[in-house]
Amino acid sequence: MSNKAKGSRVERELIQLFTENSWRAVRVAGSGVGEDSPCDLLAAKQGKKAYVIEVKSSRKTTVYITKQQIEDFMLFASIIGLTPVIALRFNREGWLFLDPKYLKDTGKYWAASLQTAKEKGKRFSNFFENVLQKKSAVNDTNKISEEILNELDKEDLINLGKDQF
């Protein structure tokens, strides 16, 4: 099975988890095809927040995501006003959901280790069903989003906006 097919299967599995919990989720067109898709899934539930989701699955203990992919992901979340989340599935660990602020900058990549996912991530019901979020957590996410967006220069933002919309 190709990496694209595995990624699509994992994304469909996650959509099923959302559906089983009375959420609505959709795969974004172009997901897994290349650099044209700014995220993998969109998910929402009436009375809850809506989310932009980047899905990663691995047999290894660390997932690496290119800086460009995370910059595009965070910019997209900011533009459409949705909360970004990284959905991680490590073998035999189930799904863990991580706020992007916990990604580690390795220089060339952003990384999420299994250890960090277990320590800072949450299971589905804890992440998505908690109605109240601490204001400081929201502010921290906004700070990380701002830092990532600041790495892009204004010309990149203008060009990205033209290409995306």
Tell me what pLDDT residue 29 has: 73
- The CATH number of the domain holding residue 114 is 3.40.1350.10
Range scoring the smallest mean pLDDT among 19-28, 84-93, 146-155, 156-165: 156-165
Tens of pLDDT along 42-78?
999 998 889 999 999 999 999 999 999 999 999 999 9
How many separate domains does the chain show? 1
Alpha-helix runs per DSSP H in 31-112:
67-80
> In the β-sheet with 104-105, what is the strand arrangement from edge to edge?
62-66, 109-113, 104-105
Range scoring the smallest mean pLDDT among 18-32, 62-76, 94-108: 18-32
Estimate to the nearest angstrom the gap between the alpha carbon of 138 and the chain centroid. Answer: 15
Tell me what pLDDT residue 129 has: 79
DSSP letter string, 21-42: TT-EEEEPTTTTTSTT-S-SEE
Structure tokens at 19: 């559906």
Is the Cβ–Cβ distance between 40 and 55 less than 8 Å?
yes
Q: How far is CA 163 from CA 37, 77, 144, 160, in A?
A: 11, 16, 24, 5
Contacts of 136 (CB under 8 A, 6+ apart): none
First to last CA, the chain: 33
**156 pLDDT tier (thresholds 50, 70, 90):** low
Tens of pLDDT along 107-139?
999 999 999 999 999 999 999 876 444 444 555
Tell me what pLDDT residue 92 has: 87
Question: What single-letter DSSP state applies at residue 19?
Answer: H
Tell me what pLDDT residue 79 has: 95
Tell me what pLDDT residue 136 has: 42
Domain that holds residue 136: 3-164
Q: E strand or H helix at 126, and its extent?
A: helix 124-128
Q: Specify which residues 104 forms β-bridges with.
A: 111
Single out the residue of 18, 19, 20, 158 nearest to residue 85, CA to CA. 18
Rg (alpha carbons) of the chain, rounded to whole number: 15
